[in-house]
Amino acid sequence: MTESDDHPIDSQRSKHAPQNIYDEPIFFEGYRRLRQNDTGLNGALEVPALRALLPDLSGKHILDIGCGFGDFARHARSQGAHSVTALDVSENMISEAKRLTTDDNILYLKSSIEDFSPRHGQFDLVVSSMALHYVEEYAAVTRKVFNALSPEGRFIFSVEHPICTAHPVGWIRDAGGNLAAWPVDHYQREGERSTSWFVDGVRKFHRTVETYVNTLLVAGFALDHLGEPKPLPEFLDARPMLEETLRRPPILLLAATKPAFSQS
């Protein structure tokens, strides 16, 4: 099997417009069912781990990048946030978020982070849940977030773990159909990956853990936390299939702070 037959890797392509896979009908319906039934990794791993890193939200002005159905925006307001600006490139996501929300202090915008132009120091907290692996220009987004934060503002985000995005072919199974190994290949070769999730041709961008962290540092952030969340024991008891997440980390979670005194 050639590389192109396996999973295409093309880090030399020209820059793309932001992908809007969540408005593809089959993809959106599959994702909607997954989140409504809480059968994915978000509820079991990502959401508890990310929320554990949140500061006191009272009075905060927050930017939510890739807001989905607005779950985090509503949670932030319930915890006393003054306002939430919530972005998503998907019309389906924004429409559903608006349907589920009755709160004038949450502003939903159909926009990618690449096209959004925040004011300098506009936000106290920027959060992104499992969205930035769809972003091609991570360094540019990191600089934009840094500029958009007030001094001592925080940037907390999760992405699909680079162990998973490097060579996204999934588990290798043994002759009995059991999970045998998770293959890692082309780890240092960053760039676009094409994978299947509900539909074929879902485009993500692989970058190493080193790149995720060092890009934050170059932008001026101080790193607070690097996490590889594990499911809480109660989730493991209820859903034994989550044991596979203990064999390879599915999520990378990072938190960083803009210093009180910076040149931005």
Whether pLDDT at 247 is above 90: yes
pTM: 0.86
Whether pLDDT at 160 is above 70: yes
Higher pLDDT, 58 or 30: 58
Give the pLDDT score at 238.
83
Residue 82 domain flag: yes
Residue 81 domain flag: yes
**Mean pLDDT for the stretch of residues 130-151:** 96
Give the pLDDT score at 218.
98
pLDDT in tens, 44-84: 889 999 999 999 999 999 999 999 999 999 999 999 999 99
Classified as helix, coil or strand, 175 is coil
CA pair distance 193, 195, nearest whole angstrom = 6
CA pair distance 93, 70, nearest whole angstrom = 8
Classified as helix, coil or strand, 55 is coil
Whether pLDDT at 203 is above 90: no
Mean pLDDT of the chain: 87
CA torsion 207-213-138-125 (nearest 10°) is: 140
Residue 94 domain flag: yes
Residue 180 domain flag: no
Residue 116 domain flag: yes
* Angle 140-17-11 from CA coordinates, rounded to 5°: 70
> Residue 238: which CATH number?
3.40.50.150
Number of domains in the chain: 1
Whether pLDDT at 6 is above 50: no
Give the pLDDT score at 196.
67
Give the pLDDT score at 194.
87
DSSP structure class, residue 239: -
Q: What are the helix (H) ranges across the chain?
A: 3-6, 25-36, 41, 47-52, 71-78, 91-99, 138-148, 162-165, 209-219, 233-238
Of the pLDDT bands very low, low, confident and very high (cuts 50, 70, 90), residue 8 is very low
**Mean pLDDT for the stretch of residues 125-135:** 95
Of the pLDDT bands very low, low, confident and very high (cuts 50, 70, 90), residue 103 is very high
Higher pLDDT, 58 or 233: 58
Q: How many CB atoms lie within 10 A of CB 108?
A: 21
Higher pLDDT, 261 or 153: 153
Whether pLDDT at 20 is above 70: no
Residue 12 domain flag: no
Residue 176 domain flag: no
Residue 223 domain flag: yes
Domain membership of residue 70 as a residue range: 19-164+194-257
Give the pLDDT score at 14.
40
